[in-house]
Structure 1
Amino acid sequence: MAKEIERKFLVRENWQPQNAGVDIAQGYLSTVPERTVRVRIKADRAFLTIKGRNEGISRPEFEYEIPVADAEELLQLAEQPVLRKKRYLEKHGGFLWEIDVFAGANVGLVVAEIELPTEDTVFSPPCWLGEEVSGDVRYYNANLIKTPYSLWKK
């Protein structure tokens, strides 16, 4: 079984993109906690991803590349709105960080994720890394379509 081990953090205001990033549109065909089914268009490629329930920072994950035309049609079937963000990739301390800058109703939210080989892997945090939000369900992308960041009480 494929397994994703991921930690998620807020990004401090001192972070600046080091590259052009890539636009992402993603929609959810299922958002129940037992399984999320996501379709994503990332630049000129598309993916269908199925994720199981979180157990700590781990969960089953299966991802398959699909034709972009299929993904465009699946986005029409997805729960609305479609989530939009720009993703930047940065290496730090031997790990690849994915920094997502959200758009639309989630503008202002910037989250960094790191995938790890084991749950207890130690890593060196970059200076722009903020509070860890790995266990906070509000920050799950599937939940951001239902309760966008702009509606949260600050």
Structure 2
Amino acid sequence: MALEIERKFLVDRDLWRPRHDGTFYRQGYLSRAEDRVVRVRALAGRAAFLTIKGRSAGLSRIELEYPIPVEDAELMLDRLCERPLIEKTRYEETVGGRLWTVDVFQGENDGLILAEIELSSESESFERPAWLGREVSDDPRYFNSELSKQPFGYWKTP
């Protein structure tokens, strides 16, 4: 079974600066329910994926991802996905030998920067980068599927 275990954190924008170029992502949701979401994602027109994620149990959830033709993904994003789409630039950072992804959101989620680390177990330890802020792994408002329903730009208090 494909299991995703990740922790998610806010990023201190005063301390973090990208060291490399990022990749622009456009993603949208074909289906959202309490127990699963079905997402389409296109990476700067170079690759595309259909992803199915199950309900979170702690920091873990089932995640299945399949490559799809970029043209199909663009069609789904433009004509089938719920609005608004998620638009973000993803950067990769290595800290303490571990890969972090840092997402800088645009569009209706402009102003939000999140960092994620994938783990092999929920109790796995890792080095915290200096630019890491408050953990939001347990706050569903920060799930991309929720950000597409209630964008960060409309929150009264983050």
TM-score calculated relative to the size of structure 2: 0.96
Match of 2:4 in 1: 4
> Per-residue displacement from partner, 1:61-113 (whole Å, max 9, x unpaired)?
00001000110111120101111000000111121000000001110000000
For residues 54-73 of structure 1, the aligned pairs below 5 Å read: 54-73=56-75
Match of 2:100 in 1: 97
Query: Secondary structure of the residue that 1:69 maps to in structure 2?
Result: helix
Cα shift at 1:33: 2.2
- Residue identity in the other structure for 1:18: R
Q: Please identify runs of 4+ aligned residues in structure 1 that moved more than 6 A.
A: none
Query: Secondary structure of the residue that 2:49 maps to in structure 1?
Result: strand
For residues 47-126 of structure 1, the aligned pairs below 5 Å read: 47-75=49-77, 76-126=79-129
- Distance in 1, matches of 2:34 and 2:93, equals 30
- Distance in 2, matches of 1:137 and 1:4, equals 16
Identity %: 56
- Residue identity in the other structure for 1:50: I
- Distance in 1, matches of 2:156 and 2:85, equals 22
> Which structure 1 residue ranges, 5 or more long, are not aligned?
none
Query: Secondary structure of the residue that 1:80 maps to in structure 2?
Result: coil
Match of 1:16 in 2: 17
Query: Secondary structure of the residue that 1:99 maps to in structure 2?
Result: strand
Match of 2:147 in 1: 144
Q: Which has the higher strand share?
A: 1
| Number of residue pairs aligned between Structure 1 and Structure 2 | 154
> Per-residue displacement from partner, 1:17-48 (whole Å, max 9, x unpaired)?
11110000000011112111000001200000
RMSD: 0.7
